[in-house]
Each structure stands twice: as C-alpha cells, then as structure tokens.
Structure 1
Amino acid sequence: MRVLCLVTIVVFLATDVSAIWNAFDIEYWRCVMKKTDICPDKDIKFYLYTRATGTRRLRIDVRNHRSLEYSGYDPMKKNVLIIHGFNGTESKRPMTILRDAYLSRNDYNIFTVDWRPLAKFPCYLSALSNMKLVAQCSAQMYSFIMENGGDARETTCVGHSLGAHVCGMISNYLDVKQHKIVGLDPARPLINRYGDRYFRLTKDDAHQVQVIHTNSGILGEVNQVGHIDFCVNGGKMQPGCKGHILRKCEEV
C-alpha cells in the first residue's frame, strides 16, 4: 500500500502543471534556514489589527517602545497572537478567517505573526529548523505586550499546523507559563517521531491548552495533545471537503 501511495503522489506531481513549472524556478528551491538566535529578525514580522483599523494591518516593532501606542493598542482589551503554519502567511486563509472572527468582536487586540519566508513550500525541513527562532522572536513580542500593560491571563496564542507548535515553543523563552493556547491541527510530519516536548505543543506549555482536530492523520496530529481536544466530525475529514491526494493514500 505504501508503494501504491508513493506512485500515486509521483503521478500527481507529474500531472500538476504548476508543480512542473515551479520545479524549473530556482527561487522555488531556495530554502532559507536561519542559523542565528538574534531577535528581532527581518523575516519574522508582527502586525496589529483592531476594530478601528479593520483589515488594515499595522507593523509592530519591539525596538520602538511606543510602537503599540501608535498602532491603537488598548491594554484594557484581551490579546490574541495568531501564528500561521507551513506554506502559510498571515494575510491569507485560514489566518484571515481567524483574524476576522476576532475582529467581529470589540474586546481584542489581534496580533499576527508572519514568518512566510521561513515556512515556504517545498522547504518543510528548513521550516522545522526555523521554528525555534520564530518562537524566540514571538516570545519577545509576547513580553513586549506584557510590558505595555497586557495581562497574561487575557492573552491567547492561536496557532495552525506548525504554528500550533510554535505557540507551545514560545513558553521555552518565557519566565512565566502562558495562560492559554489554542492549537489548530498541530502538524504531524516528522514532529510526531522526532520532536521532543520542547519542539512541539504539549499541555505543559500553558495553563489551558485546547486543540481542535479537523485533519488528523498523515498531516495533522492524531493523539491527544492538550488538556482538552476537540475532534470535529471525527477529526479527520470535514463535510464538503474533497480531500487531498495524501488523504486518499491514508485511506488506502
């Protein structure tokens, strides 16, 4: 069955016009693997969205102690830190769905982490390596928020895929444990086999760790990760989703 899946994937790539075209693009294969532990980093950006600014993002610079004030940050409101995963960005779905859901309320400062240059396709291995720096710089941003009036008990880190594990890793760089983390389909490839507790999301990373499974299997974590795990419609396949070639292989 594994051989059949491998052949199926190869055929899929061979018949995917965009994959063939990109294969001849040098930039497509130019992966970025960070070898530094210095924050802030030019490839990791932080943005703030508020009810007043809507979908217009404002860049936050932790080197400017008035950056939050100038961006409309309200220390009386709750905070949410949203982190995308592999081959993602903060300005596209599903991150924008999360952002807009919080924007529909009036009691949140919405921070997003964009580490797109370090998580681009097909550079999964380098993205795994870069997670440590992303977590470190995100922890710096978290501390910056706390220093400017933020309340840890009113702050939630929401991460998707690799971003869920980054949320957990942030705690490695904080003196005080985070209050709440929400992991959306924490990534599984390689992490399930090689990632220790410092490199993946666990219930030890915050006082409340909630995990929502919608794509568990080859790509998403299948085990219980948090204090409470929600398996939506069984946690593997959602109504209306046709599924990816990898999902079909898993079913075989």
Structure 2
Amino acid sequence: MLQRQFLCLVGLLLLCEGQEQNSVATVSCDSFTDLDLSHCFLGTTLYVRLLLYTRSNPRCGRELSHRRPASEPLLNLSRPSAFVIHGYRPTGAPPVWIDLLVRLLAEQEDLNVIVVDWNRGAANLNYFTAVANTWHAARNLTAFIVNMQACEEGASLDAVHLIGVSLGAHLAGFVGANLKGKIGRITGLDPAGPMFTSATEAERLDPSDAMFVDVLHTDMDSFGLNGAHGHIDYYANGGADQPGCPKTIFSGKSYFVCDHQRSVFLFLCGLNRTCTLTGYPCTSYSDFLDGRCLQCEAFKPAPCPVLGYDVSRWKDTLLRLGQTKAFFSTTATLPYRKASYRVDMVTWNQYLRWGVVYIRLYNGRDYTETRIDQKLLRFERYTTTRLLAQFDDDVHPVQKLSVRLAIGNVMGPRYKVRLLRIRLIPLDRPERPAMCRYDIIMEENMDVMFRPLPCDSHL
C-alpha cells in the first residue's frame, strides 16, 4: 500500500513539474521510428516506444516513460485508453495509415491514444524473428499497463482497448492473456496467418484474451489467419480476396499487401463515419450471398451489428450468442459500402427454367446494375425465390427498375416467365419504403422495365 501511495506521489510531483516546464518551453513531438532496408537486412533489436496522442495533441506524439506513465501531463489515467499496435514491417517504414488512425480515434471520444512503436523488432527480413519478438513486446506492454494501474486512481483494465494489425493482433492477444483476459476489448485487424495457422489458443489471439474481442478478416488465403478468433468475426467479401486488389504478381508490392491492408482501411472508413458496413451473422459467405441471413433475428430490436469502433453496442448480445460469424460485401473504393436489397420473387411459368437475374435501378439521371449469379436459380410454377441484390452505387429515389432473367438459351425458342410479384426491401436504409410490382410477363433474356409501386400492407 505504501509503495502504491509513493508511486502516486511521485507521479503527481512529476505532473506538476511537467506542467511548469510546458508553460515556458515549446513542446517537441516524438515520431514513429523510421527505418530503412539496411536495418531490415542487418536485423534490429527489439525496442518498444509508446507514443501518446489525445484530442489536444492529435498530431504531436509524446513518448511515455515505461516505468512512470504519470510523468507525462497529457496522460489522464481516468480516461479510456486505446493502444494501436502495428504488425510486421519488412521495409522498416512507418505504416501509411498510422497518423490517420490516431486522429480518427481521438475524434471518437476523449481517449488516450497510445501508439505501440515496436518497429525495432518488427523490421527484419527474417519474419520468424519478428514473430518471436511479439512475445517480448507483449511482456513490455503488459508491464506498462500494470504501471498505469499502480495508483489508486489509476487506469482500469476494462477501459483499455487494444487495436492490433496483422502480427500486432496476436501481440495484443498475448497482452490480454498476460492480464488474465481482463482487458476491456481487443480488435484484431486481419490477424497474421503465417506461423499461426496451427497455433493453439495460447499461441494466438482468441476470445479469452479480453472481455470482448472483435476480428476483421480480409486476406485469409494468404497473409491473414483463417477461422474464427473473436466473439464476433467479420469477413469482408468472404474474408479473402478483396475487390480492386491485384490478382497477379506482376502488380508488384500491391499484390502482396492490398488484401491484407484492406482491413485497416475498412476500419478507418468506419471511424470516419463515411461508410457504415453492416455485418450479417451467417454460417458462410455463400449462404449470405444466397440471401439466407438477412433478418438478424437474434439482435432485434437492434439492427444487425456494424463493423468498427461502435460494435461494442452489440457486446451483450454477442457474448450471449457465443462466437459469431458476420459477412458483408464491399466495393473496390471508398466509401466501400454497397447498396443492399432483399429481393423476393414469385414466379409462375409452365416449364422449369434455370438462370441468373440482372436488376438495374434508375433515378432519372443515373443507374446502377447488379448480376445475381452466385448460383443458377430455379424458376418454376409458383416458386418463391429470395435473393440478395447488392449495387455498387446507391441511386435514390428509384424511379424505374428493370429485370432480366438470363437463361443461357441463345439458339432455341424464347420462353416466357410470369412474375407474379417482385419486392425489393432496402436492407441498410430501413427508413426507405419497400418497392413492389405485380403480375409481369417476362421473355427470357430480355429486359423488362417498369415503375415500382408501393407494396401491399399484408405482404
């Protein structure tokens, strides 16, 4: 007890001393360690730096003392703290996203945003060395968080949020395990796969590492980790290949990093409030694309969980449900969000037909189109088919729409399909009304355009 009181007293004295110095001196900024390829070839020895940012200094980092956190006046231990932990740095350069992530986090609420700079240790052409260094860096960060708790009015573990990218996600998991899972939250952005695919729960990020763990997957077939490793795991575009990323090695560096790094940019987009990416709990991406998981019944009256900083809103439900997988699709560029509709079709045709569906939406000046071809659809007498239609652009209000059933029959006679009803329900815009049309005769492989009507209340 005396030791804790002494630490508090020392912290207060240093706090006052720091405030006096700041009043008469210009504050200097501490920057993320910038290395080059020579360091990577020669190897680096692990050294962990902790850079503090707040709302009052979102662009000027202040390096913290590992042993005396309270010596930095800007560090308010009564505030929540978010730690940003980068991953493997094969070139030694600072992450391109680090400054923006810090600023956007500082805008969410009054936080201590602390960048865990372990570039000396992560910058090494020998990936195995960097993996080994995650354990040592985790012990270092664990000790710092324990020191943050040293005073009676010190930090609370449940107010600590670790945000780990790639290898940094596992580092965050090790810290959480060291603290017996009492950390408030860990966010894993595409946790690293190499060296971790066969790891036990004690050797990688897992749900027991924090009170709440959310994970985003974007590159499971390469640098990311396959499977489910949080209380909720989001899988962007199925969790593997991302739209707009190169498909061949001839694209250079982008081929290797684009899918993996997309996890950070999706998280940034959510922080910036420029896109709302809704995750639909489902057993697989294929079932999601087939329109089987669009209700989110377990979360009502709340909506489906949204990716990003605010996912803790669904924490209680997710903890009750156990490990949850959630899927969503994106576009190739900002703001990444697709306009999604649930489409219900009732067909009445004499002969069984198989095909895919094209839907085009018009708002008078612009249009957007989607092809629903996840699998061949079955059209027969009085068959109800539920589809998920996702458009790259959100055209609103929809004045006209066209539908085409592409059967694939180009040589034989064209058959007609009677569409008793088609209904489009906006999934991400519940304030918008559903659109319907009734009793349409369609000739296969031909577009049929019509104006949507209000849906009957009993449907």
Same fold (TM over 0.5): yes
Indicate the structure whose relative CO is greater, using CA pairs within 8 Å and at least 6 residues apart: 1
SS of residue paired to 2:222: coil
Deviation at residue 198 of structure 1 after TM alignment: 2.3
Distance 1:51 1:140 in 2: 25
Secondary structure (helix, strand or coil) at the match of 1:97 reads helix
The root-mean-square deviation of aligned C-alpha atoms, in Å, is: 2.6
Aligned 8 A contact 2:218 2:237 in 1: yes
The one-letter amino acid of 2:224's match is: G
Task: Return 183-192 or 113-122, whichever deviates more.
Answer: 113-122
Look up the match of 1:130.
133
TM-score with structure 2 length normalisation?
0.43
Aligned to 1:186: 191
Give the Cα–Cα distance (whole angstroms) in 2 for the partners of residues 99 and 44 of structure 1: 18
Query: What per-residue deviation string (whole Å, max 9, x for no partner) do you get for residues 35-82 of structure 1?
Result: xxxxxxxx11111101111210000002235323x2x12233221011
Contact 1:50–1:103 (8 Å) recurs in 2: yes
Match of 2:88 in 1: 86
Work out the CA distance in 1 between the residues paired with 2:104 and 2:56.
Answer: 15
TM-score, structure 1 length as denominator? 0.76
> Which residue among 229, 235, 239 is the counterpart of 1:231?
235
Separation in 1, partners of 2:93, 2:145: 17
1:40 maps to: none
- The residue aligned with 1:73 is 75
Deviation for aligned residue 1:180:
1.0
Moved more, 198-207 or 85-94: 85-94
d(CA) in 2 for partners of 1:151 and 1:91? 30
Q: Which residue of 2 aligns with 1:215?
A: 219
Quick check: 2:163–2:189 contact (8 Å CA) kept in 1?
yes
The alignment status of 1:196 with 2:208, answered yes or no, reads no
| Residue 245 (structure 2) aligns with | 241
Gaps of at least 5 residues in structure 1 are: 1-21, 35-42, 248-252
Q: 1:244 to 1:188 in 2, by over 3 A?
A: farther
CA distance in 2, matches of 1:204, 1:65: 27
1:117 maps to 120
Higher strand content, 1 or 2 = 2
CA contact 1:158–1:164 (8 Å) conserved in 2? yes
Give the distance between the partners of 2:125 and 2:208, measured in 1 at CA: 31
- Counterpart of 1:157 in 2: which secondary structure? strand
- Asked if the contact 1:90/1:96 (under 8 Å) is kept, the reply is no
Q: Give the Cα–Cα distance (whole angstroms) in 2 for the partners of residues 226 and 176 of structure 1.
A: 13
From the CA coordinates, give the structure whose radius of gyration is larger.
2
SS in 1 for 2:203: coil
Residue segments in structure 2 that go unaligned for 5+ positions in a row: 1-36, 250-254, 257-459
Secondary structure of 2:212's partner?
strand
Question: Which amino acid in the other structure matches residue 182 of structure 2?
Answer: K
Change (3 A) 1:30 1:244: farther
Question: Which residue in the other structure is 2:149 paired with?
Answer: 146
Instruction: Give distance in 2, aligned partners of 1:234 and 1:174.
Output: 32
Structure 2: how far apart are the matches of 1:219 and 1:112? Answer: 23
| Count of residue correspondences | 214
Q: Distance in 2 between matches of 1:73 and 1:110?
A: 9
Question: Taking structure 1 as reference, are residues 97 and 222 closer, same or farther at Cα in structure 2, changes over 3 Å only?
Answer: farther
Q: Secondary structure at the match of 1:230?
A: strand
Question: For residues 108 and 248 of structure 2, what CA distance do their matches in structure 1 show?
Answer: 33
Q: Please, which moves more after superposition, 122-131 or 141-150? A: 141-150
Provide the residue aligned with 2:103 in structure 1.
Answer: 100
Summarize the Cα distance change of 1:84–1:65 in structure 2 as closer, same or farther, 3 Å threshold. closer
SS in 2 for 1:141: helix
What letter matches 2:189 in structure 1?
A: L
Query: Is the alpha carbon distance of 1:91 and 1:142 closer, same or farther for their aligned partners in structure 2, counting shifts above 3 Å?
Result: farther
Where does residue 29 of structure 1 map in the other structure? 41
Runs of 4+ aligned structure 1 residues displaced above 6 Å come to none
**Greater helix share, 1 or 2?**
1
Aligned residue type for 1:116? N
Q: What is the Cα deviation at residue 230 of structure 1?
A: 0.6
Q: Quote the offset at 1:223 in angstroms.
A: 0.5
